[in-house]
Amino acid sequence: MSRIFFDAASHTLLLTTPATSYALRIDAEGAPRHLHWGAPLTVEQATALPTYDGLTSSFASTSGEEINVEGGPRFGVPSLLVRYANGARGVEWHYEGHEITDGSELHIHLRDQHYPLGCTLHYAVHDDSDIIERSLTVRHLGTADEDGPIEMLRCDAAVWSIPSRSGTRMTHTVGQWTGETQLRRTEAPYAETTFTSRRGVSGHFGNPWLMVDAGDATETHGDVWSTVLAWSGSWRITAHRDHTGGPFTVAGGGGHDGISRRIQPGESHRTPVFAGQFSQGGFGAASRGWHAYIANHVLPHPDEPRPVIYNSWEATGWHVTPHGQRALADRAADLGVELFVVDDGWFGQRTNDRAGLGDWHPNPEHFPDGLGPLVDLVRRLGMGFGLWVEPEMTNPDSDLYRRHPDWVLHMPHRRRTELRHQLVLNFAREDVTEWAYKWLDRLVAQHTIDYLKWDMNRAFTEAGWPGHPDGERLWTDHTRGVYAVIDRLRHAHPGLRIEGCAGGGGRADLGMLARTDQTWISDNTDAVDRITIQHGYSQIYPARTMSAWVTDSPNPHTGRTTPLPYRFHIAMTGALGIGGDLSHWSQPELDEARELVALYKSIRPVVQFGRQYRLEDAVQYMADDRLVVIAWGHDRDLPLNGLSLDDVYVDELTGAEHHAANLLTRGLPLHLGGGDRPSAVVRLTKQ
């Protein structure tokens, strides 16, 4: 069944998803103009829609185009900004035609009327999702003898147009190290608002997505337009609320202000995907739409249960010895842990954060016989084996840096700013990615490593590539280099699973999720702080990708004391792991932890694969006939969500019966127990 329709008389194109429609028109001048993004329309209805008049009769700043360029009376955010070799700028479109492939992809081909610039707008829709994927290809159509390069000053993947309404709000996240994905919801100013990362990674400080509503959406009701960028490097999303009646626009793509990239004759550049979803049913429904899309169209192995992990970082820091790791592995296995991950500190001279990055061989003093004996022991204990790596980095105090000081991002006559005593290797260089691939391939092959935690702990500074004629392309090509190494590694080792990490959640995005299995979303493991961080992460990303560890109390970061079941329950809302120093846990604590791990395994299919509903101080998951509620706070009746009125549920523990109608209105009676920070897991099954 085709989901894309073309009305030749009016040059109108209609894209349909299961519950939404998207319409655009090629105007008489050849420019792709926006018509509609919202509730379903027929072709006839879409054809009857007028274009926004920003380009003609009014002085609106946002003109309602599918991709904004410079030229003519356009004064909104230029999402494609180019300079030709003779210094001229701007684009005057010529429409060359379009293709619809498999009824689900649309490619609109445009070129400039004079200059050798070609451009294709890509759209893709799916049968099982309301998410529309958009991206752009820019081509230099000239010849080497006649034409110089075209400089791209900005090249967004797409512009989304949203009907302007009074009270328009924006929802996004802000954050920092140990405090990622803090949700913010504010009325949009009548202005341009830019959300961006200039750090070379998508960053802790804002996650590359934006939701827009008319000021009336709640968790359960209302129209929400959400946009998410699938990119792990620097990025920019500019929202523009126009006070003269133009649509609310959201332009987004890779790169940040002030950085350009040249395309040479014959060369092309494809942007990452900037995906969008219109949904009715509030922010909760918007999130579930993204969760399902990520499971069905982004993750490499969506259906595989994420293992219960033990990670040694908080227990041993950089003091990684076979003896210490063995002691932890023994106890982890006894608790029911399925995968044991040795974090930072196992390699080179890495006994603190000043040395060793780049020297990826086991520390010769601590592991004179290599990693083999430890890997064997972990396997004998019935667990998989994982290792921490940070391939994009080097310490100046490393053999690698002494051999290749030119491999790092740097600029002539500029200092090499160290952050965490480390420098960034230029993954835009093929010799660097080849080196990285080779040692990673060797390491994984030698011990059939099951899992890598791929970390990236610092932002770019002095991001130069001396000697390269277009060095600024490293802002894009570094990220592409990282993607290429991971993709090649996964291809060569199909059993390998990867956790994405960047000093916690500094690179949690769809670009990484397309090639990793889960994300370390924050170095803050304090269960109370985690609730907020996890809430922000869950706006877009599904629970199965959210690594969450139970660590020690008092928490090493915050000093806060919390009970063991509470720490477990909060971590059980994602992919459970343990990161505490088990060698100091008492026998009663270990016994309780063993039971809690078993409890998690019993709810894992519902948490990891179910539909997620965020409730007040609780999260509800539903899969098939099973329903799980993880709640904290105080005893109360907790109204649930998403149930069919006539169903009846039975509490798996107590046998109590609950009518769905009552669970939806009065609520689930919660008995969390007493003490400090009470919490509970309730398991219900449909009768």
Binding site for ligand GLA (CB under 6 A): 313, 343-344, 388, 455, 457, 501, 503-504, 520, 523
Alpha helices in 344-457 (DSSP H): 372-380, 399-403, 430-447
Catalytic site includes residue 213: no
Which SS3 state, helix, strand or coil, does residue 591 take? helix
Query: Beta-strand (E) ranges in 204-273?
Result: 209-213, 223-229, 235-240, 248-254, 261-263, 268-270
Neighbours of 186 (CB within 10 A): 10
| Of 300 and 317, CB closest to ligand GLA | 317
| Of 350 and 429, CB closest to ligand GLA | 350
8 Å CB contact between 27 and 21: no
Q: In the complex, what is the shortest distance from the CB of residue 186 to ligand GLA, in angstroms, rounded to a whole number?
A: 29
| Of 343 and 450, CB closest to ligand GLA | 343
Assign 3-class secondary structure to 537-579: HCCCCCHHHEEEEECCCCCCCCCCCCCHHHHHHHHCCCEEEEC
Place of tokens 């608002």: 193
- What's the Rg (C-alpha) of the chain? 26
Please give the C-alpha separations between residue 381 and each of 218, 327, 446, in angstroms, as whole numbers: 48, 12, 19
Q: In the complex, what is the shortest distance from the CB of residue 450 to ligand GLA, in angstroms, rounded to a whole number?
A: 17
Distance CA 15, CA 123 (A): 9
Determine how β-strand 209-213 pairs with β-strand 169-174: antiparallel
Which SS3 state, helix, strand or coil, does residue 122 take? strand
Distance CA 524, CA 527 (A): 8
Dihedral, CA of residue 388, residue 579, residue 377 and residue 369, to nearest 10 = 40
Residue 512 tokens, joined: 């990484």
Q: In the complex, what is the shortest distance from the CB of residue 151 to ligand GLA, in angstroms, rounded to a whole number?
A: 37
Q: In the complex, what is the shortest distance from the CB of residue 564 to ligand GLA, in angstroms, rounded to a whole number?
A: 21
8 Å CB contact between 81 and 266: no
Q: In the complex, what is the shortest distance from the CB of residue 350 to ligand GLA, in angstroms, rounded to a whole number?
A: 9
Query: Beta-strand (E) ranges in 127-168?
Result: 129-140, 150-155, 158-162
Catalytic site includes residue 523: yes
| Of 388 and 621, CB closest to ligand GLA | 388
| Of 176 and 193, CB closest to ligand GLA | 176
Q: In the complex, what is the shortest distance from the CB of residue 357 to ligand GLA, in angstroms, rounded to a whole number?
A: 9
Dihedral, CA of residue 406, residue 411, residue 412 and residue 417, to nearest 10 = -90
Q: Which is catalytic among the residues 450, 509, 523, 552?
A: 523
CA within 13 Å, CB half, 396: 9
Place of tokens 């998690």: 600
| Phi, psi of 271, deg, nearest 5 | -80, 165
Q: In the complex, what is the shortest distance from the CB of residue 514 to ligand GLA, in angstroms, rounded to a whole number?
A: 21
Nearest alpha-carbon partner for 465 in 428, 503, 511: 428
| Of 180 and 450, CB closest to ligand GLA | 180
Q: In the complex, what is the shortest distance from the CB of residue 457 to ligand GLA, in angstroms, rounded to a whole number?
A: 5
| Of 279 and 457, CB closest to ligand GLA | 457
8 Å CB contact between 465 and 418: no
DSSP for 422-433, written as a single string: BEEB-TTSHHHH
Residue closest to ligand GLA (Cβ): 344
Q: CA torsion sign, 519 to 628 to 678 to 663?
A: positive
Dihedral, CA of residue 396, residue 401, residue 407 and residue 410, to nearest 10 = 20
Q: In the complex, what is the shortest distance from the CB of residue 452 to ligand GLA, in angstroms, rounded to a whole number?
A: 12
| Of 362 and 503, CB closest to ligand GLA | 503
Distance CA 49, CA 33 (A): 11
Q: Which is catalytic among the residues 156, 343, 359, 455?
A: 455
Nearest alpha-carbon partner for 577 in 336, 350, 402: 336
| Of 160 and 388, CB closest to ligand GLA | 388
| Of 118 and 500, CB closest to ligand GLA | 500
Q: In the complex, what is the shortest distance from the CB of residue 503 to ligand GLA, in angstroms, rounded to a whole number?
A: 4
The residues annotated with a catalytic role in the active site are: 455, 523
